[in-house]
Amino acid sequence: GAGVSQSPSNKVTEKGKDVELRCDPISGHTALYWYRQSLGQGLEFLIYFQGNSAPDKSGLPSDRFSAERTGGSVSTLTIQRTQQEDSAVYLCASSLAWGESQSYEQYFGPGTRLTVT
């Protein structure tokens, strides 16, 4: 079956512009995560969605970052007024909901590589 997909795969933008990154989770996965990975670094948690519950936004680094999840499926991560330090790979992952499985394996998408010039 189809895995997690993300678009675009690469995005180059000028400092100060807004960008939107899209994530299509695996069908039936109600949990969705966004992470940021800088070159050679670990994964930094950004935001977590679970069904219709209020998202956990505790990892968003500033108010320039926001995310939505429409209809419990597709998610969009928006970065306003991009800065050079926003350059990174943005990874999306989905999993079954808590209580639906004994293992909450996260399936990652291929990521969007964002470069802010």
Partner 1 sequence: GQQVMQIPQYQHVQEGEDFTTYCNSSTTLSNIQWYKQRPGGHPVFLIQLVKSGEVKKQKRLTFQFGEAKKNSSLHITATQTTDVGTYFCAGESGTYKYIFGTGTRLKVLA
Which of 91, 96, 114, 116 binds partner 1 (CB under 8 A)? It is 91
Q: How far, in Å, CA of 98 to CA of 107, rounded?
A: 15
In the set 13, 56, 74, 76, which binds partner 1 (CB under 8 A)?
A: 56
Q: What are the structure tokens assigned to 17, written together?
A: 């512009």
Checking DSSP bridges between strand 88-95 and strand 31-37, what pairing results, if any? antiparallel
What pairs with residue 22 in β-bridges?
7, 76
Q: Considering the rule CB under 8 A, would residue 100 count as an interface residue with partner 1?
A: no
**48 is a site residue for partner 1 (CB under 8 A):** yes
The rounded radius of gyration (Å) of the Cα atoms in the chain is 14
* Contact flag: residue 72 with partner 1 (CB under 8 A): no
Residues in contact with partner 1 by CB under 8 A are 31, 33, 35, 41-45, 48, 50, 56, 58-59, 91, 93, 98, 103-111
